[in-house]
Structure 1
Amino acid sequence: MSEEKKRHEWILEGIDCANCANKIENGVSKIEGVTNSNANYMTKTLSFDVDEQKELNILPVIKSKINKLEPDVTLLSKSTKLPIGKDGRASDKNKGTSHLEDSHHSHDHSHEEGNVKTTISRLVLSLLLLLAANFVPMNEIVSLGLFVAAYLVAGYDVVWRAIKNMFNGQLFDENFLMTIATISAFYIQEYPEAVAVMLFYQVGEIFQDIAVSRSRRSIADLMDIRPDYANLKLADGSTRSVSPDTIRVGDTIVIRPGEKVPLDGEIITGTSSMDTSALTGESVPRSVAVKDSVLSGFINKNGLIEVKVEKLFSESTVTKILDLVENASGRKAPTENFITKFARYYTPVVVILALVLAIIPPLVFPEATFNEWIYRASIFLVISCPCALVVSIPVGFFGGIGAASKKGILVKGSNFLEGLNDIKYVIMDKTGTLTKGKFEITDIQPVNGWNKHQLLELAAYAETHSSHPIADSIKEKYEEQIDENRITEYKDISGHGIQAIVDGKEVLAGNAKLMQKYNISFTESTKIGTIIYIAVDKEYAGHILIADAIKEDAAAGIALMKEKGVQHVIMLTGDSKSVGEAVAKELGIDEFYAELLPQDKVDKMEEIMARKGPKEKVAFVGDGINDTPVLARSDIGIAMGGLGSDAAIEAADVVIMDDKPSKIGTVMQVAKDTRRIVWQNIILALAVKGFFLILGAFGFATMWEAVFADVGVTVIAVINSMRVLKK
């Protein structure tokens, strides 16, 4: 019998090193009873599942393991923000200590904002000691003492972490590499270079961490939709500003012009227009009135409205979206996993090569000296740090997910963002995906002197007492108030249509059989949809075409998908073959299958999945409500019309928030931009490191170039990664 799993999420306060995050993830994953361990470097969170029955025993082991791997990291519960105690549970024993006061425990490698000034002060002092040792005349022992002091002031934290990591069996990280390389420089009496390299390394780390912090803030700013407060309406009619998570279902909240909608609900008083761009990426405001639904994250543009709350804050749209975006980078792309594994083997190999470089040449070549080759080996060690790879790639994917969110598209993982590049088959449901999913008048054709408005008016009066969806679409299109006094007789002719007397004239409105029944001469339409023929006093007046209208951007969306590399666009529909054929022809769809039951769609999906190549992917696009089985079966499930739809958000891998097919091509372009930037970083890092490794081995590079090959390239790669947000 399988154990019940319980999900835990902890904040890794102070971690800003991708290597450290990977160490924690790997270390926790090896603990018995732990599954799905994931350390998210960009959001500083660790998530994992544990066997519920063994939870009390496992959590302290996890806490102890993390403390051993990264002693300077403070663990907090994500839900309560309270410190994790020795028992692995959130403890409030330190509640007198604020979150900011705890920041001095943060991982030194991160150089969080609170520590930047202190670090800079240390480096300035180190630089002054270095200049004094180098340029002020003094005896050799005092000079050496100043060099050692300058070195320790600049890099004592790096050396201390390297020593602790050695005792924990973690040799191959940047602290160890920098310590061995600079101590080697001291050994061969290159004192100024040893200190200067440690200084340069620490300065580079500051720039790297500032770049990463800014990238986090840039993405956080894009998703700055979490409301700070809600105006709760009290029994006496006054309002009180409260935290959104204290509001209950059924409460009434007041939303003033310029304020964010804090919770999902229905308008009970007032009208306004809503800025939905934070959720949908759509700049055109949406008009809302009484009985319309509004979602948390909207911004009220003008009128004052009152809203009856329908969901708790924890279940609201804004909370779900933020959680999805925040956790998306936890589902790692194959490229990320490859680089993590690559770095795990790459660094030890280079360290072994450096050892060989230091020992073998002096023993083989008569003129070679140990000092010279130890120096070259030290350069090898500095260059071998894989920071540029393991830092910039998660930043790139996180930026891509943020860029998609900015455009109103939720991608639920880096793996799905990368997978969008390989889509060759796109299978699309028709109703609600390519069409609007409701009856609309798509054409009005009057004859014999009648105009379109007159024909629509006659049809609206004829359908006054009908509750059929077709009748509703006619009355909705007419928009004007219907004066029932103008109708003196009304008769529903089953299976044919309506006979009514309007303004003393006999109006017939119905199908072709109604016209034939009364021997009215008319021209039968061949258009796809429901045709309402209208006659006045037995004389044909024209027809109205009612159909499930195709979305305005559907054709452009399909063309854009093909432009981005999709080779086969396939439509599945439960409608008749004639309707399916007409829609497919109008939109440029390659093939279609009609008259399908829900279970038939799964069978068709299986057939198409069997046709794809080994590296090709199949995406299914549906409304996320009726298509859950097919969404789940596809390589990438894309839900249309996901705004506020719980089923869509749960079932799909990608959610198009504003119901536009053209956004599929948009997110494919974001995926292509992200992949291109990620591979630019990989090629840049490997090329620069490879170049300097060769120069170092042949004695043409100094440690200065080596540190640039490490830290400098990392900073450049991180900055490059953020370009995807500008796309």
Structure 2
Amino acid sequence: MSDTHDRDCCRPAPQGEAHQHSRDAAPRVTHPTHDGCSVSPSSAPPDRCCGDSTEAFNLWRELAPILISVPLLVIGLVFNEALQATPGGIAEYVVLLPAYLLCGWSVLTSAGRNVLRGRWFDENFLMTIATVGAIAIQELPEAVGVMLFFQVGELVQGLAVGRSRCSIQSLLAVRPDTANLQTGDTVTTVAPSTVQVGDVILVRPGEKVPLDGAVLTGTSRLDTSALTGESVPRSVVVGEPVLAGMVNQSGALTVRVTRPFGESSISRILDLVENARSKKAHTEKFITRFARIYTPAVVFISLAVALLPPLLIPGATAATWSYRALVILVISCPCGLVISVPLGFFGGIGAAAKQGILVKGAAYLDALTQVKTVVFDKTGTLTQGNFQVTDIIAHNGMSDRQLLALAAHAESQSTHPVAQSIQRAYDGAINHSGVQDYEEIAGHGVRARVNGQTVLAGSDRLLHREAIPHDECFTDGTIAHLAVDGEYQGRIHIADELKPDAAAAIRRLHQQGITTHLLTGDSAFVAKAIAAQLGIDQVQAELLPEDKVTALETILAQRADPQHKVAFVGDGINDAPVIARADVGIAMGGLGSDAAIETADVVIMTDAPSKVGDAIAIARRTHRIVWQNIAFALGVKGLFIALGAIGVATLWEAVFADVGVALLAILNASRVLRSGATQ
């Protein structure tokens, strides 16, 4: 940055950098427990784990009735005439009834329990009355076939659900079990939950970092892929933060703990994943409502098909039309639809998790598909947030060193990135006893008494507020102005870098038909320069935290279609209110503030703005696949219901139509897991 600045310019200047120090944390957002989708007890046990002995045991348990029933059904089909020729056809019952009960027991018991609870009309009820009716008219092979193929569909569904769950549970495998607590020269292995803030832990090569902290000694490379989805290891040196769940690849590190285990990064991820299904998507709610109307309607249509034609059509027999009614019942079973829709959303959440994008529920994945405007914060979101002092301009005979010392002392109690950059640039010792009456002025800067002098440090908005004449400076960086006892003493220039993928992120959003905005507390000159560099459509600068909410409200009010969603992307405490107000709140979760992460609907663990486009692409792909399943299932079922009603389709066609639709819908839903950033 150039050193040539007008040192005598004292005319009033436009408001500049908003040196934001807001400490107002947003309330924690809690989510209700999700009741899950309705699946049979044999399909997807909730305790299923990826690749362990429990998975193998459950798989064989589910396969066992199928493997036993298939030979019995083959015997029943091959020797059907001989079995029926026995007295009363008892041999057919002896062969096929065990197969029916083996495959259909879970369906029969579920139907019975639901009837006792007053829930008559579900897929279990449809399957039960259809197969019991088939047995009543001595169509035992068809009854066994219905239950057998239903179990095959449930098995495939269980495997698909397990695969979706594994993609998320792979994140949880990084949960550390122990911590090496260092006390003097002694190292003790303890549970991470027992370690206190301020304790020192040792992380050896190959071990997981058990708690969040800062490196005291050592250098190493850390595998962050489980937290961020990034495959490139991160180098760390003394003073840099490390997060629970990272894996130490090379040198030994001693780390001073900065957060208890319950508030560590991995614990936050665990909490997010546990609540990932806490809110149903609008599409899921539609299917739930649809099934409540669809299922009883099908039952009454089947009754009408069974009862009315024999009464109204000459020559029509009750046996013929009862059979057709059973065909309609089997075809109409909504299991494929009910299963594949939530599975599609769960798969979308899993696909996003693979890329370090944590979506807190299907409702937010659904909302992402309707996002037409994305609003960005600047510092820490589009920029690195790694401020460095690049220039010092002192006035009134004060040396640059003296000006920096005053600023470092005045900012010594602040955690704002600008304040920390000033503290890093000042390599001298800070006399904390000489700093008194410290006060943070939200969105402006700080005031403190340093060695008896009243020092103001912050944006030029702070100087305007205090009516202190000062330099007007136009620069592409951030400026902290200094005033002592009401007299302007100079300024410190601080620079921040754009994130490497910031420009690509904006281009990707534009390709997706999305409008971009920038809301920042920085000066208008800086904000416009960054917006021009990145290609952002609209920019508003010099905003206080509360001004950002007002600006977002204006954007929400100006959207052409109320169905279009507005997303806000931020990382700081002062972004939490805006994240909460947006239709979809997105937080940078790697090193973002707890308030922003807790308030957000989507958390990007890589801190990469390009992941916003990836999240929207995954959501849109999920939405397409879910509606493909809905249209396909309803279309095929409608066709076969018509064929069944006119007697073209038999129970066998009904079985294959129902199970085939379910299998294809489930397989199509599983494609969501393979969705990536290429959409």
Fold in common (TM above 0.5): yes
Q: Indicate if the aligned counterparts of 2:76 and 2:92 stay in contact, CA closer than 8 A.
A: no
Aligned ranges 1:404-419 → 2 under 5 Å: 404-419=352-367
Q: Indicate if the aligned counterparts of 1:617 and 1:635 stay in contact, CA closer than 8 A.
A: yes
Residue by residue, what CA displacement relative to the aligned partner does 1:598-629 show, whole Å, maximum 9, x if unpaired? 22222222222111122111122222311222
Match of 1:490 in 2: none
Q: Which of 146, 149, 152 is the matching residue for 2:101?
A: 152
Aligned ranges 1:410-559 → 2 under 5 Å: 410-440=358-388, 466-467=404-405, 528-529=476-477, 547-559=495-507
Match of 1:270 in 2: 218
**Could you say if the C-alpha distance between residues 197 and 651 of structure 1 is closer, same or farther in structure 2, counting changes exceeding 3 Å?**
closer
C-alpha separation in 1, matches of 2:664 and 2:520? 49
C-alpha separation in 1, matches of 2:341 and 2:390? 49
How far did residue 135 of structure 1 move?
5.8
Cα RMSD of the aligned pairs, angstroms, is 3.9
Match of 2:629 in 1: 681
Residue 123 (str. 1) matches residue 72 (str. 2): no
The alignment partner of 1:643 has SS state of coil
C-alpha separation in 2, matches of 1:238 and 1:593? 53
C-alpha separation in 2, matches of 1:265 and 1:236? 20
How far did residue 169 of structure 1 move?
2.4
Q: Indicate if the aligned counterparts of 2:478 and 2:493 stay in contact, CA closer than 8 A.
A: yes
How far did residue 181 of structure 1 move?
1.0
Match of 2:461 in 1: none
Match of 1:699 in 2: 647
Match of 2:12 in 1: none
How far did residue 438 of structure 1 move?
4.5
Match of 1:629 in 2: 577
Aligned ranges 1:357-436 → 2 under 5 Å: 357-436=305-384
Q: Which amino acid aligns with 1:588?
A: G
Residue 301 (str. 1) matches residue 252 (str. 2): no
Match of 1:192 in 2: 141
Q: Which amino acid aligns with 2:647?
A: G
Match of 1:709 in 2: 657
How far did residue 342 of structure 1 move?
0.7
Residue 39 (str. 1) matches residue 38 (str. 2): no
Residue by residue, what CA displacement relative to the aligned partner does 1:382-412 show, whole Å, maximum 9, x if unpaired? 1222211221121211221222222222222
Q: Which of 140, 152, 157 is the matching residue for 2:87?
A: 140
How many residue pairs get aligned? The number is 569
Q: Which of 96, 105, 120 is the matching residue for 1:171?
A: 120
**Could you say if the C-alpha distance between residues 656 and 383 of structure 1 is closer, same or farther in structure 2, counting changes exceeding 3 Å?**
same
C-alpha separation in 2, matches of 1:706 and 1:581? 64
C-alpha separation in 1, matches of 2:151 and 2:106? 10
Match of 1:329 in 2: 277
Aligned ranges 1:333-344 → 2 under 5 Å: 333-344=281-292
Q: Which amino acid aligns with 2:137?
A: I
* Structure with the larger RCO, 1 or 2 (CA within 8 Å, 6+ apart): 2
**Percent of residue pairs identical:** 53
Q: Indicate if the aligned counterparts of 2:171 and 2:227 stay in contact, CA closer than 8 A.
A: no
Match of 1:446 in 2: none
The alignment partner of 1:615 has SS state of coil
Q: Indicate if the aligned counterparts of 1:637 and 1:654 stay in contact, CA closer than 8 A.
A: yes
Residue 659 (str. 1) matches residue 607 (str. 2): yes
The alignment partner of 1:328 has SS state of coil
Q: Indicate if the aligned counterparts of 2:180 and 2:187 stay in contact, CA closer than 8 A.
A: no
The alignment partner of 1:254 has SS state of strand
How far did residue 679 of structure 1 move?
1.4
Match of 2:542 in 1: 595
How far did residue 531 of structure 1 move?
10
C-alpha separation in 2, matches of 1:574 and 1:717? 49
C-alpha separation in 2, matches of 1:319 and 1:384? 44
How far did residue 586 of structure 1 move?
1.8
Match of 1:608 in 2: 555
C-alpha separation in 2, matches of 1:250 and 1:71? 47
Residue by residue, what CA displacement relative to the aligned partner does 1:120-139 show, whole Å, maximum 9, x if unpaired? 45425643663586265652
Residue by residue, what CA displacement relative to the aligned partner does 1:175-199 show, whole Å, maximum 9, x if unpaired? 2212211222223232322233333
Q: Which amino acid aligns with 1:198?
A: M
Residue 355 (str. 1) matches residue 300 (str. 2): no
C-alpha separation in 2, matches of 1:40 and 1:159? 21
C-alpha separation in 2, matches of 1:115 and 1:641? 41
**Could you say if the C-alpha distance between residues 698 and 419 of structure 1 is closer, same or farther in structure 2, counting changes exceeding 3 Å?**
same
Which runs of 5 or more structure 2 residues have no equivalent in the other structure? 1-27, 392-398, 409-417, 429-471, 481-491
The alignment partner of 1:550 has SS state of coil
C-alpha separation in 2, matches of 1:270 and 1:128? 68
Q: Indicate if the aligned counterparts of 2:43 and 2:155 stay in contact, CA closer than 8 A.
A: no
Residue 690 (str. 1) matches residue 638 (str. 2): yes
Aligned ranges 1:280-299 → 2 under 5 Å: 280-299=228-247
C-alpha separation in 2, matches of 1:215 and 1:582? 43
C-alpha separation in 2, matches of 1:725 and 1:74? 17
C-alpha separation in 2, matches of 1:352 and 1:562? 51
Q: Indicate if the aligned counterparts of 1:648 and 1:655 stay in contact, CA closer than 8 A.
A: no
The alignment partner of 1:435 has SS state of coil
